[in-house]
Every structure is written in C-alpha cells, then in structure tokens.
Amino acid sequence: MPPEHSSPSAVDPERLAETMVGVIARSQRIAAEFMANQSGHLAGSLDPVQLAEQFLKNMAQFSFDPQALMKAQAEFWQGSLALWQQTALGALGASGQKVIEPEADDRRFRSDAWDDGHVFDFIKQSYLLASRYVIAAGESVSGIDDKKHAQINFYTRQFVDAMAPTNFALTNPDVLKRTVDSKGENLVKGFQNILDDLERNEGQLKTRMVDTEAFDLGRNLALTPGKVVLQNDLIQLIQYKPATATVSRTPLLVIPPWINKYYILDLRPKNSYIRWLVEQGHSVFVISWVNPGSELAGKGFEDYLLEGPLAALDAIQAITGTTQSNVIGYCLGGTLLAALLAYLEATDHADRVASATFLTSMIDFADPGDLGVFIDDQQVESLEQKMNRDGYLDGADMATTFNMLRSSDLIWSFVINNYLMGEEPLAFDLLYWNSDSTRMPARMHSEYLRTMYLENRFKEPGGMILGGVPIDIASVKTPCYFLSACEDHIAPWRSTFAGAGLFKGPVRFVLSGSGHIAGVVNPPDAKKYGYRTSRSRPRGDAEAWLQSAPIKEGSWWPNWQQWVSKFTGTNVKGRKPGAKKAFPVLEDAPGSYAGKRLDEENPK
C-alpha cells in the first residue's frame, strides 16, 4: 500500500514526530525482550544465514586453483577498467555498449532507474562484475570433495545475493525516490514493520511475505466441496463431493507432502488441481496431514505409511466397495508412494493400486540439488539435537531453508518491499500457502534425512524396513506416471528421472515447464509452460531422453487424464461423502488439521 501522503508538502511534521516517538518507545521495549530471549530461544537453532556467514569465513582456509583464480582476477580487472572508461565517456555525453548485463531472469534491476547511464548504472555493473568474480573464485577452490564444493558455491551465491545494491537504501534508486517523495515516511513505516516482525516472532526477525489476514481456508482458499470422513493421529481423509452424475469406478487417492499443507492443490477454483480432478469424474480422496507437536515426536516414516496411505486405502475400499485405487503422490508424498508400492509388492497386495502418479518426487537421492548443501553429518547431528529437545523440527526452519534456494525472490525482495519501501505485504494466495509452515516429527525427519539424503539407501533392496517388511523399489510393477519440472530446485528433474528408471513396470516420464509448484499447478485454461514426453523409458542418460521428447503446448493435466483413463474402470453413480455409516462426516473440508497455522497455536 503506498504511503498515505504521496506529495512532499502533505507530510504532517507533528504526525511524523508522534510516529517516531512511538517507534522509539516500542523499539526500546522490544529490544529488551529480544535480548532476554537470545540465550534460550535461539540456542541450538539451525540458522542457514548464520551458517552461510560462518562458512564464508572458513573459506580463508581453502586453497585455490591458481590458473582459474588468475583468470577470474584478470576478467574482473579488465571489466572494471572498461566500466571506468565507459563511465568517463558517458560523463562527456557519449554512449556505448554495457560492460556487463544482468541475466534475463534477474528481476532486481528491472527498474529504468538502473539504466541512468551514470551513478546507478555504474553501481549495478560494478556489483555484477564483483559478484561474477566472487562466484568464479569460489568455483576455483581445489583439493576438496564435490559435497564441500557444492556448499562453497551455494553459500557464495547467498553472500553475493545479500550484498546486492538493491538491498540497501542508499544504493537503490527506487528506495531513494520513495524516500524523497514521502519525506522519509517509507523508512519510518519500514522500521515499524521490522519491529512488528520482531514482536510477532518473539525477538526473531522473520520477514512477512504475505498479508495473512487476507485469506481464510474455506472462505477464499480450499473451496472444493468435501467432507472429512476419517481421522487418526496423522491424517484427516477428505472425500470430495462428486461434480458429475457418474464417476469412475476406481477411486483416486492424493498423497500430498507433509512438509507443507495439501491445499496447494486447491488454492482457488481457477487453479485447483483437486477441483479439476473432481470435474473429470474421479472419486477424489485427499490426505490432509496433521501439524505435529512434541506429542508425536516418536512417529517415524513407518507410521506415516501405516497411518497415512495404507489407512486411507482401507477406508476408501470400505467406502467405495472397490479393491483398487489410483494414487497420486506429490513431492515427499511421492517418496512415500514409492514406499507404499514396494510394501504392497512385498506383501502380495500390489493389485490394490491400479496406477501410481508421481509429481516432482525424489526416489534416488544421489544428486538432491541445492538442498544437499544443508545436509551432511554435522548438520544432521545438530538438527537431531534440536529435534530431540523439542520433539519436532520447527516449520520456520524448513521454510527458511527452502526460501534460501531462491533468496533474491523469497527473502531479499520482501526485505526491500517491507523495510525499505515501507509497503505492506501483498495478498497472494501462493505466498499465503508458502508461509503456512508445518512441523516435522523428530523421529520421522531424522530417518528421512539419514536414509534418503545422507545414505541414499531408500532406492536399495532392503534399504528401508517398514512394518517389518524390507522394501525394494525395483520390484514395483505398477504402471507409473512421473511428472517433473525443468526449473525445479527442490526435486531436480534429472534426479527424479533417475528415480523413475528404478521401477520394473511401465513408466511414462513427463517434463513440465517452470518449477516445483507452478510446473504442477498449471491448469489447462492458463495455456502456460508446456511439457515434454517421449515413448522412451526414463533410463540411462537424461539428456538423451530430453532430445527424444518433443515439446507440447499447454498443461500436462490432459495428458495425464488420457493416460490414467486406462485404469479408471467403468462409470458408477457419484459417491456422496458420509453415505457409509462406518465413515460418517466428521467436518467440512478443508478440516481442522489444515486449518491451524503455526502463528495461531502453541505446540504441546
């Protein structure tokens, strides 16, 4: 929201003075609370930003490839001299080609003020030259393993992003203009926003990304009509009201990740994947995971299998009278789906799942992408100490980690908007969901990090024992559909491609445009991104598969519907939630498990 008084003459000095007095008083009180909370509240927490700073300090101990470092230094000085020459000629009225330009997808410098040909153009290009040099220097570190090299490169990028001139009032032309136009009221409001965020988060500075007051589940988000028909310690099972007179005989179960809440698949009617599934004539059931407190600290990956999809399949069979279901797993829900298929295969119940769909799901964790930099023995041990004390991993820690994967967009852009420009966060449904963090039970998260990320045992025969059953991913013969996204930073598509190649049965691999969320939540009416698919099985060289897969326009959703229709069976009368006495309606969707936000409750 723009400042209330936009013209310089309209600023009321008395009102501004009153505001500053209030700000100073509040800052003194909150600063005292902040210092009192430091010793206990933050002790032992994993702060990725602090970790990055410490890591960069340790870079002084590394050795560098002299040839690569000299090349980087030479390019930096040549570029700097060319920039000085360009600037001098510009002062005389001459114009020439830029020495360096931002990447096409770099939105930090999209304002015309950065191309003024003088001060801010010089600041921008100087930063780009320096950042290119720092990144190249980091890449020239020698004598270390690939893991440590990836950590150096990642944290170097975090440092470079943090030092961007856009993040500071005196080197950001848009902030300076706003300051002059508003007589500094933007900075006053920005300081108030800082204090509000500190106060809201008990002394921790967590920048708000979204106006949380603008949304309410069941009012303007998660609107697809449905009922909760089953509840246990870990899940609520939602059965959705049919939108067609007849539905497919084979019901459809959706397993979302429990890192976030399920309603990413049901944000608004125009982009709701769940609503679209219902409109295609599926009998849709969706798992809504609990947001655990310390009372569920002992719940492990096995419990998530037994009390999650296995319990849901039992209920769905009783409700529909069918022995088979089609199952979709998203992200971590897809990893659990792979475990489910292997478990059913080992217990001679593989026919319970007619088809399996994996949405941006990791199964082979050999190359987990940028997330891997957060996970080594030392960091996992530190996390386990914290989780053993609390009983869970706090959702805010997970959110910070994921936001760092795109720090310019998901951290610094909000620092600029809220603190420098003095704006209020926007009302944006996707960011509301992104800020609706969930916890992870201590035992489950420890097993997940060690079995998957650290040791990559999940894909190995007997690498994980669930319900007393050694599972073997390679034994799965269920027909599978794998959807990945080409810009996915959380589940890199080449890694999901490797996981898809592990299965014995038929597999269709599809590569969508965009990233982990937009590549999945891509309704046909949007006519965006496109996708690739091929008759070739996802085995061997991912690049070779890519060359064999032509680009198709539009959403992947209709392609999936055409594929899954082979496993849906004949049509039957639409199934009304609560029709079975053994599974009465407990409450309306989205249900209480999804409805509670971390900032509205205190864990046990």
Q: Report whether 309 contacts 327 (CB < 8 A).
A: yes
- In degrees rounded to 5, what are phi and psi of residue 419? -100, -35
CA nearest to 548, candidates 563, 529, 531, 532: 532
Indicate the angle between helix axes 185-200 and 13-41, nearest 10 degrees.
Answer: 30
DSSP class per residue in 53-88: HHHHHHGGGSEE-HHHHHHHHHHHHHHHHHHHHHHH
Active-site choice (69, 238, 296, 331): 331
Helix, strand, coil shares, percent, the chain, to 5:
50, 10, 35
- In degrees rounded to 5, what are phi and psi of residue 144? -130, 165
DSSP class per residue in 280-295: TT--EEEEEE----GG
Q: Is 592 exposed, middle or buried (0-12, 13-18, 19+ CB in 10 A)?
A: middle
Q: Which two tokens stand for residue 263?
A: 């309603």
Question: 127-166 b/e with 16+ CB inside 10 Å = b?
Answer: bbbebbbbbbbbbbbeeeeeeebbbbbbbbbbbbbbebbb
Task: Collect all residues with Cβ–Cβ distance below 8 Å to 168 and sequence separation of at least 6.
Answer: none
DSSP, collapsed to helix, strand or coil, labels residue 480 as: strand
Pairing of strands 507-512, 480-485: parallel
- In degrees rounded to 5, what are phi and psi of residue 500? -65, -30
Q: Which two tokens stand for residue 296?
A: 């569920």
Q: Report whether 151 contacts 44 (CB < 8 A).
A: no
Q: Report whether 305 contacts 234 (CB < 8 A).
A: no
Could you tell me where the beta strands, DSSP code E, fall in 58-180?
63-64, 141-142
Residue 518 CA to residue 515 CA, distance in Å, equals 6
CA nearest to 354, candidates 575, 570, 566, 556: 566
Residue 101 CA to residue 131 CA, distance in Å, equals 12
Q: How distant is the alpha carbon of residue 18 from its chain centre? A: 41
Q: Report whether 167 contacts 416 (CB < 8 A).
A: yes
331 catalytic? Reply is yes
**CA angle at residue 394 from 452 to 436, to 5 degrees?**
100
User: How far from 258 is each of 95, 275, 456, 475, CA to CA, in Å?
Assistant: 55, 20, 20, 26
Task: Collect all residues with Cβ–Cβ distance below 8 Å to 190 and sequence separation of at least 6.
Answer: 418, 419, 420, 421, 422
User: How far from 360 is each of 177, 332, 481, 482, CA to CA, in Å?
Assistant: 43, 9, 11, 8
Q: Which two tokens stand for residue 436?
A: 């609706």
Q: Report whether 494 contacts 466 (CB < 8 A).
A: no
Active centre residues (catalytic): 331
